[in-house]
Structure 1
């Protein structure tokens, strides 16, 4: 349970200074282990067996290199009629380093486990105070959201009220609400948008339902009808499309063809 919690901490969790310090210690221990393994990879024994081999084979790069060097020295020695080199003198330092590396990695792995355990336990111990702190923050956010929601509702009401005044003016008093008031899709007041000269844009007028209404000049920008290019292309495609007819010959499919 502890490891699961420590490995899945949300980024915004309000950790205490103590827990943050323990997390840093855990991360530092893991980094130290990773760095040591990388720097001493040649002294680490690894499984080099291939797929299908019945018995695992292990190899250590530094030892392989040392044995190769020993072999070269032995060849040179016999060629010169000299005594063979001391095997332990060549391979001994490498084996000592290998043992030292194994012990160090084992100690670092223990350090990582201990640091991670301490961090996990500290997280568990702080779940209640962290939860209460998060609950308080959530309440504060809710209060702010309610204020913002109330402001948004009031602003929407002002938008609709002023939009209705505009509509009354634009229609010479014929319509006193936004054109789509009462529609199933609402009055779409959020599509209100003005051009640089202060007039309602053509696109907004269409979205707001002003089409079909007699509107005074000078209040809405209507340089040209708004055209849906994609819709026109689709209509053009289907208007010019010819169905494909497959004519099968009595002799079978070999001589069949498509007519367009």
Structure 2
């Protein structure tokens, strides 16, 4: 039986036969998981306390049954009746726990056999599948190379026209975009025009066209929020908002 470190990917190009065996294996695993989850209270486990010499085993269902039996015994003593049959009362739960252990054991064997059949069938197909995937990878690599070359050519075209745009917007002052050769990147991916065909204000900021001191109008979108120029106050008068006129002379200006 092959022990795969990595579970076989779901997009493996399996044959119909192997796909069916895979489904049987996955269904078996799901059945085991569902049974264990729905009957977990019957799973027997070691409940020994630290220091105990002999191991004690129990299950949540058995502990609940013991608590219920104790309540019935107390009520029987109180009512003067006979105690309930302990063996019969706890026997049902113990039988369920035994059934749980046997069922889980059988399901685990079922899962192991299904996995073995799937693994062996898969192993027989790995070599032909590998050849097919190698060929597909080669095709993808060629497509990637073509796309990369096309992207490089498009990038060169973008740089060319961005430089010509710079020549126009600077009236011959420069023939490359402002961030050409910048160590942090050219950011040409930000190039964007508005509906009027102007380079957007946001794009001009990312591309550093705002750093060019002299530009002709009509090519770059104007700043939508130009800074407000405040009138210069040649005789500022300080204002002390925390000051209080109480206790000061009449000539104190607040």
Q: Sort the TM-score into its range (normalised by shorter chain).
A: 0.5 to 0.7
The CA deviation at 1:111 is: 0.7
Q: CA deviation at 1:110?
A: 0.9
Query: Residue 66 of structure 1 contacts residue 91 of structure 1 at CA under 8 Å; is this kept in 2?
Result: yes
**3-state secondary structure, aligned to 1:127:** helix
Equivalent residue pairs, number: 223
Distance 2:207 2:24 in 1: 61
> Which deviations, in whole Å up to 9, do the C-alpha atoms of 1:184-242 show, x marking residues without a partner?
66755334232343222345445545434532111123438999xxxxxxxxxxxxxxx
**Helix, strand or coil for the counterpart of 2:127?**
helix
Q: 1:194 to 1:60 in 2, by over 3 A?
A: closer
How many angstroms does 1:37 deviate by? 2.9
In 2 relative to 1, CA 140–52 (structure 1 residues): closer, same or farther, beyond 3 Å? farther
Partner of 1:218: 218
Pairs within 5 Å for 1:1-260: 2-5=2-5, 7-63=6-62, 65=65, 69=69, 72=73, 79-80=80-81, 90=89, 93-181=92-180, 188-208=187-207, 210=209, 211-212=211-212, 214-223=214-223
Deviation at 1:163, TM superposition (A): 1.9
Could you state the TM-score of these two structures normalised by the residue count of structure 2? Answer: 0.67
Map Cα deviations across residues 135-179 of structure 1 (whole Å, 9 max, x no partner): 222222222212222321222222223223322322334434434
Contact 1:14 1:133 in 2 (8 A): no
More helix by share: 1
Deviation at 1:62, TM superposition (A): 4.9
Residue 107 of structure 1: CA displacement?
1.2
Tell me: CA distance 1:96–1:167, structure 2 relative to 1, closer, same or farther (3 Å): closer
List gaps (5 residues or longer) in structure 1.
Answer: 228-260
The structure that is strand-richer by fraction is 1
Q: How far apart in 2 are the matches of 1:209 and 1:194? A: 15
1:125–1:152 distance in 2 versus 1, CA, 3 Å: same
- C-alpha RMSD over aligned residues: 3.8
> Residue deviations 1:49-85, cap 9 Å, x none?
2344333211245555279649739956x945x7x87
SS of the equivalent of 2:3 reads helix
**175-184 vs 35-44, greater mean Cα deviation:** 175-184
| Gap change, CA 1:188 and 1:214, over 3 Å in 2 | same
